[in-house]
Chain A
Amino acid sequence: MNHSKAASIFNKDEKKVDWHDKALWFVRHKRDKAVHAVEGWESLRNYGHGIKAHTLSNLDNYLIQFEENALKNGVQVHWAANGDEHNKIVHGILKEHNAKKVVKSKSMLTEECHLNPFLEADGIEVIDTDLGERIVQLAKESPSHIVLPAIHKTKEEVDELFQEHLGTKPSGGDPQYLTGEARKHLRKKFISADAAITGVNFAIAETGGFVVCTNEGNADMGAHLAPVHIACMGIEKLIPKQEHLGVFLRLLARSATGQPITTYSSHFKKPVNGNKMHIVIVDNGRTEQLSRPDFRASLHCIRCGACMNTCPIYRRSGGHSYDATIPGPIGSILSPGKDLTKHSSLPFASTLCGSCSDVCPVKIDIHSQLYKWRQIITKETPQPFVKKTSMKMMGKVFAKPMQFERIGKVARWSLRNLPKGVINSKPNVWGKERDLPSGPTESFDDWYKKRKDNEQ
């Protein structure tokens, strides 16, 4: 289903759309307050961009260095060319340790690889332990946002889910009560888990260590209690040195939620005696994206979600309408790189207002990359008949100024005089969900000439 069709499903509940829009704008606002309080924020963004660009330009060597150091630290390193291989590796490690119960802390990579169904098919219990992720897991949905996975759910919906699955009392959606119940439920899972899976926010070539950021402490509760810790990372998570964390940790949480830093920024390097630590390094299309000069900067992304919170389209269409693990502006750059035909509508799900690029902590030129995808897609994938024909017609009209002037006159008159029912009729997609302005009496051309005359 294309983006606009999927969005129209979300748009059916107008009140919820308004609420979704406001909730995300609130987070965007918190981000603004936080970053305005940082002296040198723009330099920090430039450093973030520069460090990532440098790392990508030397990626193979940094990967080798990272592996070497991780091995020295007593960590086992695995490589996966695609999602399927990643799943098999994780499954193999779990089998080897006879692990039946797994606690997972938030990782968009394992979502991308569809790890949960793969493991569940073999009878392994996988519990997502980030509260938002647990909520969507109970609802049998996917996250609709990379930082706020359950942002599309109201508290009443969570209340019902918890009653059904965790046996809670009806509370009218009291967040304090529900979080407390989830804590009890998840603590049981942490205590009984055989293995823990986490994502990786940053991996450090110089030390072979990696950093995981959470507000809930779920990654740590999992990793320190279970005898086996598997960390899954995309190759783009690498940074050269530990000191560079100073740049990225300052950027990440402020951009994500307006916090000065996440509650827990955990630096894992060596397993404790007797325990096992594994790292799975995953490509799954990333080296392909690296080969595209126009789009490789999308690999700088540190998954803060700021571009989603600010995007006027995302806020009003919901994350699920993107039909991809990473939704929103950055997802609309990454997804076509994986499957151009399936995701051909995503780069058009943007106003190109540039707000995404303005907030991006690592200065990805998101909106210009979206524009570039549009040009490629228009050339390479079949376009809808209406769009193609109307574009052709417009081209002809623009080529003949006299004709353009005549049509303009009719259009202006119509906008002023025809009843709304006629103007907003079906063929006019611009009249969908909005009123068109009243037509001006003179054309821009006339106005401009008059202005010139007055100047003289």
Chain B
Amino acid sequence: MSSREHILSRAKANKPDLLELPNLDLNVFVDGRDLIKEFKTKIEVVGGNVVDVVVKENVISQVSSLFPDTKANFSTLEGTQDFNTISLEALNKPHELEDLDILILESDIGVAENGALWLSDNQIPIRVLPFITKHLVLVLNKENIVPFLHQAYQKIASSETDFGVFISGPSKTADIEQSLVIGAQGALSLTVFIY
């Protein structure tokens, strides 16, 4: 018998009688919080920065003043040719992104309860981008903030996702004597622009 058959037959023989799958009643979680305020607070709690912009078109100029003199920049925002100093088409391997300074991506879901933003293959041209960049900038419309992860998954369900990630804050670790250090293997900072 192959291990597959072995495992499946044992799982079948050893499992208990069928138990029902609980129905989730999302009403039990409602706490009436101000979503935008909660979202911003949580981003700061997890070590990110929040910037309010009135219109999306102002993001680039604000990023440039926050991070002056960066060499390798890339953004998926429209009309940002002047900002982009690298071209993804010219890359041979994702490894060449190692020196990327700033990456700007758009997200279409923000979760108030934990300050996480959803990115999927639709928004990430090369999967390693948001992890390998030194500084990550995410842009989100206020309208796209949902209260809990449950609602985020309702939105995600309708799209076919090959790879997706919730990002909440910059990369961090507390593995040396429990002191929190921002900037482990992934991005050193996260800035979220909300418009």
Contacts and interface: CB of A to CB of B under 8 A. Distances in A.
B154 interface: yes
B40 to A, nearest CB: 13
Contact of A235 (B11, B152, B175): B11
A191 to B, nearest CB: 5
A131 B173 contact: yes
Name which of A130, A224, A268, A281 has the most chain B CB atoms within 10 A of its CB.
A224
B184 A265 contact: no
A220 B165 contact: yes
Interface string A231-269: 000010000101101110110000001011111111111
Chain A interface mostly helix, strand, loop or mixed?
helix
A263 B170 contact: yes
Contact of B7 (A131, A216, A257, A287): A287
Size category of the binding interface on chain A: 35 or more
A267 B163 contact: yes
Nearest to A243: B153
A57 B16 contact: yes
Given A183-B183, A224-B127, A148 B165 contact: no
B185 A260 contact: no
A155 interface: yes
Name which of A46, A148, A215, A242 has the most chain B CB atoms within 10 A of its CB.
A215
A221 B186 contact: yes
B178 A23 contact: yes
Contacts of B153: 242-243, 245-246
Contacts of B29: 38-40, 43-44
A263 B175 contact: no
A149 interface: yes
A211 B7 CA distance: 22
Nearest to B151: A246
B173 A50 contact: no
Interface in B152-195: 152-154, 156-157, 161-179, 181, 183-187
A242 B157 contact: yes
Interface residues of B, number: 75
Contact of A250 (B9, B25, B148, B185): B148
Interface in B99-134: 111, 113-116, 126-128, 131-132
Interface string A207-218: 000000001111
A224 to B, nearest CB: 4
Contact of B173 (A27, A79, A215): A215
A54 B21 contact: yes
Contact of B171 (A58, A216, A266, A296): A216
B35 interface: no
B185 A262 contact: no
Interface string A123-144: 0000001111001000000000
B184 A260 contact: no
Contacts of B183: 179-180, 183
Given A60-B12, A260-B46, 17 more contacts: A23-B178, A59-B15, A79-B4, A85-B3, A158-B177, A180-B183, A186-B185, A187-B185, A217-B185, A218-B186, A220-B186, A224-B128, A260-B115, A261-B115, A266-B165, A267-B165, A268-B163
Give the 7 A-B residue pairs with the shortest CB-CB distance, closest first. Answer: A217-B186, A260-B114, A132-B175, A216-B184, A224-B128, A50-B22, A291-B14
